[in-house]
Amino acid sequence: KIAKLKRFTDLSSEEKDSVFTASGYKRIAFVRNPSTRLHAVYVDKFVKKDASSEGYKQFMQHLKGVDFVQNNDISKLPRMTFVEFLNQIKENGFDGDEVWDSINIICGMDKVQYDFILHSESYVADATKLLNGLGLSKIPRAVFDITEFKTETDGIGDKITQEAIDILASLYKEDYDKLGYTLRGRDFIRAPASQVSVLQL
């Protein structure tokens, strides 16, 4: 019989702290390719948003500052290009926004020793291999199954310029290096060659 799975939010403060340090837990990071992640954010938050909406205003304010939004009618300004979006993040630095901050920062990779890294692009295969290796193969597939990852990033390898690739390589270098992704030429949108990294099962 499989014990009922708990959500992290259901744990007490003491239990939450122990999750990151106690030996009885396996720590798993579920990550996404930085290139497709950032492009999806750009498309979702800026390209597809109604420029007169409150959501668009909030993101522009976060990127460009309160004064910029107050002093300009942003609904009439040209949309930022992807390169401009990346350059603005670079200029601001990572500022605690989980939408575009480095995964290494969000997941606290420098503070938490993760046992496994699963990649969204190969999530079902990664999760299956992980559960089998942990002796948990009887967990119903529906618990972790994602039939298909659909994003707005199909074919982005033909759309992103070399300038954007260079900025991504500089800004998210730690993510590419530590999470098992590559940024070589147009291969940057491919899933990792190896599944379930960090710990051999």
Write the pLDDT tens digit of every residue in 23-72: 878 888 888 888 888 888 888 888 888 999 998 998 899 889 899 999 99
- The residue that leads in pLDDT, 6 or 174, is 174
**56 contacts 74 by C-beta, under 8 angstroms:** yes
Residue 167 lies in a domain: yes
- At which residue do the structure tokens 């496994």 appear? 116
Residue 188 lies in a domain: no
The whole-angstrom separation of Cα 106 and Cα 76 is: 34
* Residue 155: per-residue pLDDT: 54
Give per-residue pLDDT as tens, 126-184.
777 777 777 777 766 555 555 444 444 455 555 678 888 889 989 999 888 888 777 65
* Residue 201: per-residue pLDDT: 34
* Residue span of the structural domain in which 164 resides: 25-179
- The residue that leads in pLDDT, 53 or 190, is 53
- Please provide the distance, in angstroms rounded to a whole number, between the alpha carbons at the two ends of the chain: 23
Residue 187 lies in a domain: no
Residue 151 lies in a domain: yes
* Residue 39: per-residue pLDDT: 87
The residue length of the chain stands at 201
Q: Under 8 Å CB-to-CB from 12, ≥6 apart: which residues?
A: none
Residue 119 lies in a domain: yes
* Residue 141: per-residue pLDDT: 59
The whole-angstrom separation of Cα 92 and Cα 95 is: 7
Mean pLDDT of 106-133: 80
Residue 15 lies in a domain: no
Q: How many domains in the chain?
A: 1
